[in-house]
Amino acid sequence: MELKATSIGKRLAQHPYDRVEILTAGVKVSGDNHEYLIPFNQLLAMNCKRGMVWGELEFVVPNNQVVRLHGTEWGETQRFYQHLSGLWNRWSQEMSEIAAAVLDKQCQQIATLTHQNKWLKRQDIEGIQHAVRATFSALPLPLARLTEFENCREAYLECNSWLTNVENRRQQANQKYTEHMLSEYADFFQQVESSPLNPAQARAVVNGEESVLVLAGAGSGKTSVLVARAGWLMARGEASPDQILLLAFGRKAAQEMDERIQQRLHTDHITARTFHALALYIIQNGSKKAPQISTLESDSAARHALLITEWRKQCQEKKAQAKGWRQWLNDELGWEVEEGNYWQDEKLARRLAPRLERWLSLIRTHGGSQAEIIASVPEEVRELFQKRVKLMAPLVKAWKSALKAEGAVDFSGLIHQAVNVLDTGRFVSPWKHILVDEFQDISPQRAALLAALRRQNSHTVLYAVGDDWQAIYRFSGAELLLTTSFTQHFGEGDRCELDTTYRFNDRIGQIANSFIQQNPYQLTKPLNSIKSGDKKAVTLLADEQLEALLDKLSGFVASDERILVLARYHHLRPEALEKATTRWPKLNIDFMTIHASKGQQADYVIVIGLQEGKEGFPALARESVIEQGLLPQPEAFPDAEERRLLYVALTRARHRVWLLYSKPNPSRFVPILEALGVPVAKKP
């Protein structure tokens, strides 16, 4: 059947199309010089319109295009339109039955993937989306028409939502899974630790992404979550003990984790390792010769003696070197170093030894050649950095010679070797799940070891537990961005937050949380306390009141309650503590640096030394160009790490914190704390 424009209509319309012909499953619109084939599976709509004299047909096709036929006799146009519509509608209904069957099948496949016994990972989403797109491309009807048909509408909208609202659908599916798991394993979450896990902890445990960052604020039960995670993986049959790798940053922390796992999970087949112990294990199993750890690594006196001996030798033998070192210590560190044989000064040597050790460690951790190290630092410090590295070169050489003579490796070399063993395939990782404690302390070198393990198996799950508010080890190479920009470094994943602290009261929490979150680079998270505290739970007090404070504490603090006195530096230990055992014999008082207190807790905390200046808190930012070049760049916020250090100090306390400040020279933190509502007391 064909419809043509009248001769007058054709002449007046001046349109490229003047006739339309019905084909088997489509139409052909043509003119003297143009032709347009429109199969029914590309036809979105048809419209029949009446003009002033003639009829008009519109054929709507994809991409908002409209093909028009003008100048046809109106009666014929109506009859043609009615006949074509009938054909098109019958074809469409028949095709909708086929499309409905295909869409229903795809919905069933999606339902299988998203059932409540399986966590929906992001890579699963990619698979669903690929399948949906393939299904859509195989349909006989245009996608834009599917909602017209009742038998297709619901299934199409369900499938299409996985393309247009994917994150919401993923969250809905995983919320359903999580609620099901929390119900089915309710007894496990009640009993796995000495106290039942709270909802936030339990949700963090069952998260099934391949990269998971659990932000665990102070006292929020991070160890409970790590233990429960290991137990959960075994209870679900997702991993056997030998497929779970648990990593801690220190030997003591690893031992404590082992004890906790044995006590709560009743197994000794999961062993917590330090990163260095892991590296040693990898090398031992991937090499013919097991490495020996240098005795220098466990003997700080020997390390210092080796470095100072070489430093003195260098200064003694070469005037240029002696001049260079003196300039370095004077200009960068602000030390007043006299001329002459200054290197023989024992006090100066003792002061310098830890610095030499740190600079050596940073250079060794980098692992590259001298030229590579120099090239890696920011251009603005490169020239000065090069001079300093050349001064350090003989010390680095002496260190390497000592290792060679001992036939041993140091800790930095250990991790570099382990990464090499993994990348060359001499050791194949058996671990499906890597659980890392105190993740905020991760360094680029340790992150490289994790990456090497995951390169061997792209489906290895990284479960990292930490708190960016407690990141206080930049000086040893820890890089905060590895936590705050977790997904950029370790792949797309989820972030969970433990929202309840069981340690300190809400007043301590209010002050500590407000203080730390003034830094916009810290991740925001809720941290609620289950205990109430009065306004005096955090108090500013003049440092001259320390003895009076201890006198007062001796009147009400029980002998089994702990008092922790914290300072920025160990040598600031108050003289009053020397007589503590006799003057306050019933008080259980411990003194330590704030760095050392990380992981500790006490009933009462006294923070001393809130003053400005050389021995002040916050500490003066005085770094050598070696640190500037090789340490991670600090945030562009004043005293960012020193703020975190005070946060750590505040959150060691269960009941009360006293912040002792210098009245003549108060720390710049004092007015900030006052503005947050911390009262200033004249006496305890």
pLDDT digits (tens, 9 = 90+) for 101-160: 999 999 999 998 888 788 999 888 999 999 999 999 999 999 999 999 999 999 999 999
Between 377 and 652, name the one with better pLDDT. Answer: 652
Domains of the chain by residue range: 2-72, 90-176, 189-293+425-501, 298-408, 532-681
**Do residues 518 and 638 touch, judged by C-beta distance below 8 A?**
no
Whether the per-residue pLDDT at 474 is higher than 90: the answer is yes
Is 532-681 in the same CATH topology as 189-293+425-501?
A: yes
Model pLDDT, residue 105? 97
Q: Cα separations (Å) of 389 from 359, 362, 383, 402, 627?
A: 9, 11, 10, 19, 11
Whether the per-residue pLDDT at 338 is higher than 90: the answer is no
Whether the per-residue pLDDT at 7 is higher than 90: the answer is no
Question: CA–CA separation, 443 vs 632, rounded Å?
Answer: 9
Per-residue pLDDT averaged across 46-74, rounded? 89
Report which residue type is found at 681. A
Whether the per-residue pLDDT at 72 is higher than 70: the answer is yes
Whether the per-residue pLDDT at 365 is higher than 80: the answer is yes
pLDDT, tens only, 433-445:
999 999 999 999 9
Rounded-to-10 torsion of CA 221, 226, 231, 232: 90
Among 275-279, 330-334, 569-573, 592-596, the minimum mean pLDDT is found in: 330-334
Whether the per-residue pLDDT at 288 is higher than 80: the answer is no
Residue 661 parent element (H or E): strand 653-661
Question: CA–CA separation, 503 vs 220, rounded Å?
Answer: 8
Model pLDDT, residue 13? 62
**Do residues 228 and 257 touch, judged by C-beta distance below 8 A?**
no
At residue 33 the predicted structure's pLDDT band, cuts being 50, 70 and 90, is: confident
Per-residue pLDDT averaged across 176-190, rounded? 96
Percent of the chain clearing pLDDT 90 (strictly above)? 84
Q: Cα separations (Å) of 84 from 6, 81, 170, 631?
A: 20, 5, 44, 75
Residues written for the chain: 684
Model pLDDT, residue 438? 96
Output the average pLDDT for the chain: 93
Most confident of 3-12, 620-629, 650-659: 650-659
Whether the per-residue pLDDT at 489 is higher than 70: the answer is yes
Q: Where are the beta strands (DSSP E) in 11-81?
A: 19-23, 26-30, 35-39, 45-50, 55-61, 65-72
At residue 332 the predicted structure's pLDDT band, cuts being 50, 70 and 90, is: confident
Whether the per-residue pLDDT at 546 is higher than 80: the answer is yes
Residue 451 parent element (H or E): helix 444-456
Q: How many CB atoms lie within 10 A of CB 351?
A: 13
Question: CA–CA separation, 209 vs 495, rounded Å?
Answer: 10
At residue 368 the predicted structure's pLDDT band, cuts being 50, 70 and 90, is: confident
Task: Tell whether domain 2-72 is in CATH 2.30.29.
Answer: yes
Q: Domain 532-681 falls in which CATH fold? A: Rossmann fold (3.40.50)
Residue 282 parent element (H or E): helix 275-286
Percent of the chain clearing pLDDT 70 (strictly above)? 99
Question: CA–CA separation, 220 vs 504, rounded Å?
Answer: 10
Task: Tell whether domain 189-293+425-501 is in CATH 3.30.1300.10.
Answer: no
Per-residue pLDDT averaged across 280-304, rounded? 91
Model pLDDT, residue 114? 84
Per-residue pLDDT averaged across 405-429, rounded? 93
At residue 369 the predicted structure's pLDDT band, cuts being 50, 70 and 90, is: confident
